[in-house]
Amino acid sequence: MPELRKDPITHRWVIISTDRAKRPTDFSKARVEILGNGVCPFCYGNEAKTPPEIIAYGGNGRPANTPGWQVRVVPNKFPALGIEGSLDRQGFGLFDKMNGIGAHEVIIETPDHLSTLATVPDQQVEQVLWAYRDRMNDLKNDKRFRYILVFKNHGQAAGASLEHTHSQLIALAIIPKQVSEELENARHYFEEKERCIFCDIVRQEREDGQRVIAENEHCVALAPYAPRFPFETWVLPKQHGSAFENEPASVVSSVAGMLRNMLRRLDQVLDHPPYNFVLHTSPVGEEQNEHYHWHIEMMPTLTKVAGFEWGTGFYINPTPPEESAQFLREAEV
């Protein structure tokens, strides 16, 4: 019989449709194949095809915007928001508006066009995470910004416009509604129980074990109790941390290893699916708190959001998280 499960953090309901239960091989595949055809602006030698780099790691002593880098951050050539100007907030009766101020950057994760975050060494993934951290800490100095979102679209079906592996960062002048709801619910839980809800989830899931996929010294990967999507996976630090950019090097290294580990498992179990991941962290100015716990949410693109989801806010997931965790746990990586 299908189950209705309530996410304890967002209070969002999910239908686990066991009557439609699907194994990894049952999903129609939008397999990501990296062909390397045509001229890629993210490859060595094409640095002039992107806006001038903001930062780059590797190639000590290299002139800016030349080959030799290992990770490179550039402004998005087609930004969703503009960096110049003032917010100019205005109200018109019921309606509010402001200028589209923000930063939109691209993190080019490797110079190798045919590589992915699942295939590069752990140290390369760690450099990518350091790029996230360095850019977040720099952009926090801009008093216009209240939230910094880091996300990755992998594969055309997941929204990637270029096949060369990359992720993106957008600094926003407002805190997104989804983030606000997650923060508020976590705060209410802490006020009632004087404990972080994420810490409780990590503790309970590690004791239970059904939905834990893997863990290392500093972090754990698990299938959430009420996942919106088949094979949705979260990576969380074991010890409480409210802001990713404040974590020490040891934790960043562990997260890099776990992130690559999970991507390799997804590739093996689901045959190189398109996916998205999003870094959930505390807003600017609220980095030190006891109620929120930063984490990464990973969602393979296996199903489509349709009328029922848009009409109700519910999600229908045909694969119970206990089964997806087992499949991923048993993958050989």
Report pLDDT for 28. 67
pLDDT class of 115 with cuts at 50, 70, 90:
very high
166 catalytically annotated:
yes
Residue 201 has pLDDT above 70, yes or no: yes
Above pLDDT 70, what percent of the chain? 98
3-state secondary structure at position 74:
strand
User: Which domains does the chain possess?
Assistant: 3-329 (3.30.428.10)
Report whether pLDDT(75) > 80. Answer: yes
Q: CA 55, CA 110: separation in Å to the nearest integer?
A: 14
pLDDT digits (tens, 9 = 90+) for 234-276: 999 999 999 999 999 999 999 999 999 999 999 999 999 999 9
Task: Flag whether pLDDT at 326 surpasses 70.
Answer: yes
- CB–CB of 119/266 below 8 Å? no
- Which parts of the chain fold into alpha helices (H)? 122-139, 177-193, 197-208, 249-270, 307-312, 321-329
Confidence of residue 21 (pLDDT cuts 50, 70, 90): low
Which residues have CB under 8 Å from 319's CB, separation 6+? 21, 22, 23, 230, 231
Greater pLDDT, 47 or 60:
47
* Cβ proximity of 72 and 108 under 8 Å: yes
Which residue did the predictor score with more confidence, 121 or 93?
Answer: 121
- Indicate if the pLDDT at residue 223 is higher than 70: yes
Find the catalytic residue in 104, 154, 164, 166. Answer: 166
Mean per-residue pLDDT of the chain: 92
Closest CA to 260 of 109, 55, 44: 109
Residues of the chain with pLDDT > 90, as a percent, come to 74
AA letter at 151? F
pLDDT at 73 (0 to 100) = 98
